[in-house]
């Protein structure tokens, strides 16, 4: 598998991103992750989606770490400081699952509180469903675990076609357009930093087409099985969707009905677009902290 590695100087002096880099090898590729807070505390695993990287959580990581939690925020393969295979066909739903599970294994993470959004939810909810012994709570903001049995929003079909066919893929403009607040020039530079040119963007272009949208999708069976597990999930399950995301709107209510652990939780609707980490980062982080405060110390 051919891959590219973004030069380190692309990540120098990024606004509000002072975190020391950490790396693991996953299947011959280097995966980057942020590791902040007490090393012996139960981890909070923050999973980003498309086309972002751990920079998305820059305002949430310090809030959760200051509350005494160990925050792990990886860059998915193809994103951020992680290695980037150069062909769209190098990426599959299962390969991303394998890479993420390798990270969890190598860091020996247990008692995890999952925080996920967008593709972070497609991966994180599967990880939790398939490895329930490692997770003690789940927080989902603007995310879902689709099986291909649901009606696909028109906004997603447009996005999928754009990712596949558009001659340009302007990452920072995409994030800016899907947030309520407008990114500043330094923030736009940070979101563009992983991608010096179009050759680095295969992973970002691949993600939309990997979402299960038909009942015979390659990931459908595994996601259906994961849902059977989630329908038995009685550990805390919190939704923190935003009020302005046309793609995942309504997903919070669906999960609240389907997941037993969602019953009685203080679900929140935060202000923001698809990237609520840009619009309501402190409120999102505080919701995570408040949930963890209710968990048993040895749970």
* Residue 216: C-alpha distances to residues 149, 174, 178, 229 (Å): 9, 29, 30, 20
Catalytic pick among 32, 217, 274, 279: 274
Cβ distance 89 to 79 under 8 Å?
A: no
Strand order in the sheet with 268-270: 21-26, 29-36, 70-74, 43-47, 112-116, 135-140, 237-242, 268-270
Catalytic pick among 83, 245, 252, 279: 245
DSSP string of 76-143, one letter each residue = PTTSTTS-EESSGGG--HHHHHHHHHHHHHHHT--SEEEEE-THHHHHHHHHHHH-GGGEEEEEESS-
DSSP class of residue 195 equals: -
Catalytic pick among 118, 176, 217, 279: 118
Q: What is the Cα–Cα distance from 206 to 211, expressed in whole angstroms?
A: 10
Q: Residue 144: name the closest of 43, 219, 58, 84 by CA.
A: 219
Query: Is 105 assigned a catalytic role?
Result: no
Q: What is the Cα–Cα distance from 277 to 137, expressed in whole angstroms?
A: 19
Q: What is the Cα–Cα distance from 187 to 94, expressed in whole angstroms?
A: 31
Q: What is the Cα–Cα distance from 299 to 111, expressed in whole angstroms?
A: 7
Query: Is 8 assigned a catalytic role?
Result: no
As a whole number of Å, the CA-based R_g of the chain is: 18
Q: Residue 91: name the closest of 219, 248, 215, 225 by CA.
A: 219
Query: Is 245 assigned a catalytic role?
Result: yes
Residue 191 CA to its chain's centroid (Å): 15
- Cite the active site residues: 118, 245, 274
């Amino acid at each position: 598998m051919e891959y590219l590695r973004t030069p380190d100087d692309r990540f120098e002096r990024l606004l509000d991103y002072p975190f020391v880099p950490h790396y693991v090898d996953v299947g011959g590729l280097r995966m980057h992750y942020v590791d902040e807070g007490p090393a012996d505390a139960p981890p909070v695993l923050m999973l980003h989606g498309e086309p972002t990287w751990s920079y998305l959580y820059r305002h949430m990581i310090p809030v959760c770490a200051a509350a005494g939690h160990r925050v792990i925020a990886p860059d998915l393969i193809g994103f951020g400081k992680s290695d980037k295979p150069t062909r769209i066909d190098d990426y599959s739903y299962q390969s991303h699952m394998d890479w993420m599970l390798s990270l969890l294994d190598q860091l020996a993470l247990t008692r995890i509180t999952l925080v996920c959004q967008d593709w972070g939810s497609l991966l994180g909810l599967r990880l939790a469903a398939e490895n329930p012994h490692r997770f003690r709570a789940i927080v989902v903001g603007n995310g879902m675990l689709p099986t291909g049995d649901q009606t696909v929003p028109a906004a997603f079909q447009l996005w999928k076609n754009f990712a596949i066919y558009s001659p340009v893929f302007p990452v920072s403009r995409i994030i800016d357009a899907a947030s309520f607040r407008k990114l500043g020039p330094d923030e736009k530079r940070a979101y563009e930093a992983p991608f010096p040119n179009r050759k680095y963007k295969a992973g970002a272009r691949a993600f939309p087409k990997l979402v299960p949208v038909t009942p015979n999708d390659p990931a459908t069976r595994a996601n259906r099985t994961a849902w059977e597990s989630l329908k038995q999930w009685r550990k805390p399950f919190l939704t923190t969707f935003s009020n302005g995301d046309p793609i995942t709107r309504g997903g919070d209510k669906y999960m609240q009905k389907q997941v037993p652990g969602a019953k009685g939780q203080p679900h929140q609707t935060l202000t923001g677009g698809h990237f609520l980490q840009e619009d309501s980062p402190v409120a999102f982080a505080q919701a995570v902290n408040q949930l963890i405060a209710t968990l048993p110390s040895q749970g």
